């Protein structure tokens, strides 16, 4: 769908409706990850509509019949229908925190914190909090995978 080989929902068992593809803009890390991991470095379909932010994708998909887009797990919303995906075309997994943690959901990427070592003493309290039980709880409640998964 995102490469343009499937352009109508009828081709995949849905209604006879044109597929409208929403994507992040090319400067987005999410765009790059999706292109590398899902599209295997092939180009997005030329008619895909680039959105400046995740919220814009959610809003556009929720308001456009036949639309599809992708967002990070932390942004999954009741306003949009999520789709189960598969590594092998046989076993499908829904985009849930549990499936991301147990690695049955195939589209997962790590996020990193970067900082200047010169500022390590300033950053240390923040990193300590993030890695604490309270910080990990906030991360999980926000829809991200905690580093320490108890």
Assigned domain for 76 exists: yes
Q: Strands (DSSP E) along the chain, which ranges?
A: 20-24, 49-51, 67-68, 85-86, 92-93
The verdict on 70 and 118 lying in the same domain is no
Lowest mean pLDDT segment, chosen from 5-9, 85-89, 115-119:
85-89
Cα 74 from Cα 114, distance rounded (Å): 20
Q: Which CATH number characterizes residue 39's domain?
A: 3.40.190.10
The predicted model scores a pTM of 0.83
Assigned domain for 90 exists: no
Give me the sign of the Cα torsion angle 94, 100, 102, 105. Answer: positive
What the block records as the tokens of 74 is 């932390």
Assigned domain for 56 exists: yes
What are the Cα distances from residue 29, in Å, to 60, 114, 142? 20, 15, 19
Assigned domain for 60 exists: yes
Choosing from 34, 66, 81, the residue where a domain stops is 81
Residue 67 belongs to domain spanning:
9-81
Assigned domain for 73 exists: yes
Assigned domain for 55 exists: yes
Choosing from 41, 61, 81, the residue where a domain stops is 81
Q: What is the pLDDT of residue 78?
A: 82
Assigned domain for 48 exists: yes
- Residues 94-131: pLDDT tens digits? 999 899 989 899 999 888 889 999 999 999 999 999 99
Assigned domain for 95 exists: no
Number of domains in the chain: 2
For residue 40, report the phi and psi dihedrals to the nearest 5 degrees. 55, 45
Cα 42 from Cα 134, distance rounded (Å): 41
């Amino acid at each position: 769908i995102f490469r343009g080989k499937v352009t109508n929902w009828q081709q995949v068992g849905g209604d006879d409706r044109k597929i409208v593809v929403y994507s992040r803009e090319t400067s987005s890390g999410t765009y790059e990850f999706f292109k590398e991991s899902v599209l295997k470095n092939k180009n997005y379909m030329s008619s895909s509509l680039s959105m400046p932010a995740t919220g814009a994708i959610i809003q556009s998909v929720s308001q456009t019949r036949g639309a599809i887009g992708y967002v990070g797990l932390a942004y999954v919303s009741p306003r949009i229908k999520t789709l189960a995906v598969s590594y092998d075309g046989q076993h499908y997994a829904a985009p849930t925190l549990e499936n991301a943690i147990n690695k049955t959901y195939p589209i997962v990427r790590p996020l990193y914190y970067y900082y200047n070592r010169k500022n390590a003493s300033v950053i240390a309290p923040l990193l300590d909090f993030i890695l604490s039980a309270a910080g990990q709880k906030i991360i999980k409640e926000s829809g991200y995978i905690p580093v320490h998964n108890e």
